[in-house]
Each structure stands twice: as structure tokens, then as C-alpha cells.
Amino acid sequence: MLRNRKYFLDPSDLQYKQVRLPWKQKLVRFFLWFSLSLVVSFGYFRAFDWYFGSPKVKQLEQQEDELKFRYSLLYRKFNENFKSVKYFQLSDEIRFRPILNMDTIPSSFKNPGYGGVDRFREFKGLTNGNLIISSREKLEELKNLTTVQDESFKAIGDRTEEWINEFEHIPWICPVDIAYPRGDGIKFREVHPVYGTPRWHFGQDFSCPYGTEVYATGNGKITAAGLSSDGFGNHVVIDHGYGFISIYGHLSKIGVPVGMNVKRGDLIGLSGNSGTSSGPHLHYQVDHYGNHVNPLNFFNDDLSRDEYFKMITQLSSKTKFR
């Protein structure tokens, strides 16, 4: 400590005395030393920050990089989900709706506009604001597509249930054993086999033996069961709904009463020769909203006899009778 002190020789008394600076000079020296220390410290800090970087800044940069990476994964997930929704839309438009006879979804409903509303203005000006905004827009678009498609599938589900119910009611099978030969179908007869005069024949005849089992061709309600005044003799009429009725004429026996609900494959009577008939057979007629339609258009001959009766056994809920 003594080496840092300075002394001078006082001529007045020939004594060495310590040099003492005025307080102002001390203050100036302290200020210069302090300023120099600040400059050097700031220089060291800037050099360290430039070379090594601030730990907090480094942490924020890492978080930013991680955020960008997550957004890139989110974009990839969005694209995968968009492909799935587009696939569902395509199936909706070219498969389900045409089969079920449903109208397509209008494009304006699938892709509604937003009227120019700036919905994401709070994200503008942020460092990664554009990234956030584009992701939110993708999310909104995907949400809208999935909502529309969900509602569409609900409508398709409802229509499918209705279609299944309709299919169960349409007269869709042959009313007797498919092995029996067919007589006259819908045509204009030059000579009626009984009356001998020209007349229309509005159904399909089946040349089946007397007492052949006759089955309901679709679900419905019995609206007539008994003797007919139209030449059908003992006959059964089933109202299937959806504009369809089926008529079974010239029966020898009727096994269902008026008002009864029947299902496809239920035994409703036995064939015979009642009414205006030249021999044992079944007259089968299908009308749609009052118009006569060809019953042969509602079933085919792809089944064997065994397959036909296996089908009848599975469909029928009634006990056979004789």
C-alpha cells in the first residue's frame, strides 16, 4: 500500500510529506475510472453476447424454432385431414346421394364466405403472425367442411333408413314357386279365354297347380280379402305404401283378414280357379299410383328353387296352412 503513496520534500521544514490531491481532482479521477470501467464492461458484455449469445434470447429462439416445427406438423396433419374429407365428399356426391336419389350439396353451402370480416387482426404484427393466421384459416376451413359433411351423413343415414323401409315394402319377389311356367303378362288380348272378346290383361299369370302356396311380395297392409266383383274371384289386395299395391287373384283359399299387416314372404293364400278363370292359375298384378306396371320388372330368375324356398323360410313369420 505504501508504494502507491507519493511524497514530496517540503523545503520549509525539510520534511517528506505525503501528496494529497484536492477533492475535486479526486472526484474527476473517480469519475474517469468509473466511466472507463463501464465502457470496458459494456465492451466485454457485447463481445460475449455477440460470440456466445444471450441465454434468454437463445431460449426464445429455440422456442420459436420449436413453434415453427409444430406448425409444420400441424400443416401436414391439416393436409391429411383435408384429403380424408375430400374422399368423403366424393363418396357422398358420386355414390351415396345418386343411389338414394338425393340432391347434391350446393357448393355455396360447402364453402361459405365470411363477408370480408377481419377475424384474425389480433395476430397481425406479431413475429409469426402470418403463420398463425394461415393455420387458423386452415382450421376454420376444415371445421366448416367436417360440419357440412357430418350433417350430410346424418341426412344420408335418415334417407338410408327410409330407403330400407321402402325396399322392404316394394313388391320385390315372385309370389309363387319360380319353377312354375308363366302365362299371359301385360298385353292386349285379341280373344279373352272366357269372354271371347278383345280385352286388356293388366297382370302376370302363373300356371301353377290348384292349392299352390301364394306369398306376399312385400311388406304392407291387407286392404281387401274375399270375393271380387272384377272377375278376380277370391283375391287379396296388399297396400305396400309408396304408391304400390299388389293383387293376387283366383285364389282357392285366403289366409289373411282385412287390416292385417304382413311381411314379404308371408303366406297369404292358395292358388285356385275362382272368378273369371279358364283353369287353375294365379293372377298377380302390381299397380303404382294407379298405373299398371309389369310385375316381371320387380324380380328375376337368378334364384334356384331351393334358394327361393330358403328365402321364403327366412322371410316368413307365419305358419303354413292347407
Residue 249 CA from chain centroid, whole number: 45
**37 is written with which cell numbers?**
470501467
What's at 104, amino acid-wise? Answer: T
* pLDDT of 126: 62
* pLDDT of 108: 65
* pLDDT of 80: 83
pLDDT in tens, the chain (322 residues): 445 666 656 676 666 666 666 777 767 777 777 777 777 776 766 666 666 556 676 676 677 677 777 777 777 887 888 788 888 888 888 888 888 888 887 766 666 555 555 666 666 666 666 777 777 777 878 888 888 888 888 988 888 888 888 889 999 899 998 888 887 766 656 555 655 556 666 788 999 999 999 999 999 999 999 998 888 899 999 999 999 999 999 999 999 999 999 999 999 999 999 988 878 999 999 999 999 999 988 887 777 788 888 888 888 755 455 4
Question: Residues with Cβ < 8 Å from 217, sequence gap 6 or more?
Answer: 171, 172, 173, 174, 175, 238, 246, 264, 284, 298, 299
DSSP codes of every residue in 98-155: HHTT-PPPPHHHHS---TT--TTGGGTTSTTHHHHHHHHHHHHHHHHHHHHHHHHHHH
What's at 39, amino acid-wise? Answer: V
> Would the CA dihedral through 63, 66, 70, 71 be positive or negative?
positive
**118 is written with which cell numbers?**
377481419
Write down the CATH number for the domain with range 187-315: 2.70.70.10
Please state, in angstroms and rounded to a whole number, the distance separating the CA atoms of residues 295 and 222.
Answer: 19
Q: Please report, for residues 27, 67, 111, 134, 174, the alpha-carbon distance to residue 114 in angstroms, rounded to integers and kept in the order given.
A: 70, 28, 10, 15, 57
CB 221 within 8 Å of CB 259: yes
